[in-house]
Chains A and B, each alone.
Chain A
Amino acid sequence: MLPQRLIESLVGLFLLFAIFSLTVLAFQVSGLTSLFPDQTYTVTASFDDIGGLKVRAPVKIGGVQIGEVAQIGLDPVTFKAVVKMHIRNQYNDIPDDSSAGIFTSGLLGDNYIAITPMYNTTYLKNGSKIEMTHPAMVLEKLIGQFMYKIGNNGNNSSDNGEKNEKK
């Protein structure tokens, strides 16, 4: 049996080792920069179509993340998707006539909200709503439209050809 003092110091070292691992996990692995979440304010926007937008998706201006999506709901009257966003308090000078759009990072990446700032001198604040929105571009729809156009063009050209032949 080891003396109690040695056991206590070994257990102390064990604790220190575990705390060191926790710090490594927190700062090196999960990239935690501050222990407390940033102070934020809430802004809503309603979209016709949000595509594959998810809760916690980033909100960006010019590619810089300024907040994240907090909640997604459906307006029971207009059937538009209502998106609540938390924007960090340090970005409190976004003009309130700015527009919000849903984009995709990369060809198959996740969706995010991009806010395009305008020129008003009144700013977005807690509870305000972004009026100008652009719905998500859904890849399937685009492909569908593209196919439709190709189909039409083909018909038109064949029609023209027939007409030409008739002439």
Chain B
Amino acid sequence: MMDRVAVLGQWGIDTLRQFGKAGILFYRVLFYPPNFKKSCPLVIQQVYSEGVLSLLIIVVSSLFIGMVLALQGYHTLSKFGASQELGPLVALSVVRELGPVVTAILFAGRAGSAVTAEIGLMKATEQLSSMEMMAVDPLRRVISPRFWGGFISMPLLTLIFNATAIYGAYLVGVKWLGVDAGIFWSNMQSSVEFHADIVNGVLKSVVFGVAVTWIAVFQGYFSIPTSAGIASATTRSVVYASLAVLGLDFVLTAMMIGEW
């Protein structure tokens, strides 16, 4: 009996220690900013490998999500004779909810896992410790650019996701199903607010970007330096990031609807 309690206590302390480590890592990434001139190219390189290379999956999936949303929405709305409300339906659900969340989950799968695996392998092959030997801080050289790269890419990808999804909905709703183009856009414009909807959606994506890249970087940096350890760190990175995104999404939405 006491053994079980002890195991539970050990588990609790371990979990707490993980959070502590993650917090210290985050603090060091944020408050020990790398030399701007030297690390700017590194950050750009990371924006390329995390953002630009994720563009394909983001654009394709957003186009299809917009198209499916228009198809489903039209089918249901026409039962109520409200098919001219297709524009607001698609725009609000994409801009407020689907855009940030789906982008963050795809980003965790596409870029977060890559970051974790890369850092984990660097640790396993002792590249990080050899950097320390050369008096190069691996946090500034490796971790920080990856964090900031993801932080910058996430909102940009979300904006692209939103625009493409709405264009996909336009293709299906207007070009295929025959909703009038003027009604589609004007109803959308009258019900979508720039500050309340679009800016809040982008704000969400900024928070998700921090969460996803933070988890990815942490899992990589503290992974067990074996091949099995890297594998489980990559899995955990994607799973934890997706769960964190969904949980944070609920909290953020509650805060935004409650007007902060």
Contacts and interface: CB of A to CB of B under 8 A. Distances in A.
B91 A29 contact: yes
A59 B186 CA distance: 20
A18 interface: yes
B197 A11 contact: no
Contacts of A118: none
B95 A25 contact: yes
B163 A24 contact: yes
B128 interface: no
B47 A26 contact: no
A139 interface: no
Contacts of A28: 185, 189
B240 interface: no
Contact of B156 (A8, A18, A29, A31): A18
Given A14-B51, A30-B198, A7 B192 contact: no
Interface in B48-70: 48, 51-52, 55
Contacts of A25: 95, 159, 162-163, 166, 198
Contacts of B190: 31
A32 B154 CA distance: 24
Interface size class for chain B? 20 to 34
Contacts of A17: 55, 156, 160
Interface in A112-142: none
A140 to B, nearest CB: 22
Contact of A10 (B48, B95, B156): B48
B235 interface: no
A10 to B, nearest CB: 5
A26 B48 contact: no
A155 to B, nearest CB: 39
A4 interface: yes
B194 A30 contact: yes
Nearest to B157: A18
B217 to A, nearest CB: 20
Contacts of A24: 163, 166
A147 interface: no
Interface in A1-24: 2, 4, 7-8, 10-11, 13-15, 17-18, 20-22, 24
Nearest to B40: A8
A8 B151 CA distance: 17
16 contacts: A4-B44, A8-B41, A11-B44, A14-B48, A14-B55, A14-B156, A17-B55, A21-B164, A22-B159, A25-B162, A26-B198, A29-B95, A29-B188, A30-B193, A31-B189, A31-B190
**10 nearest CB pairs, A to B:** A31-B189, A21-B163, A18-B156, A30-B194, A21-B159, A30-B192, A32-B194, A7-B48, A24-B163, A14-B52
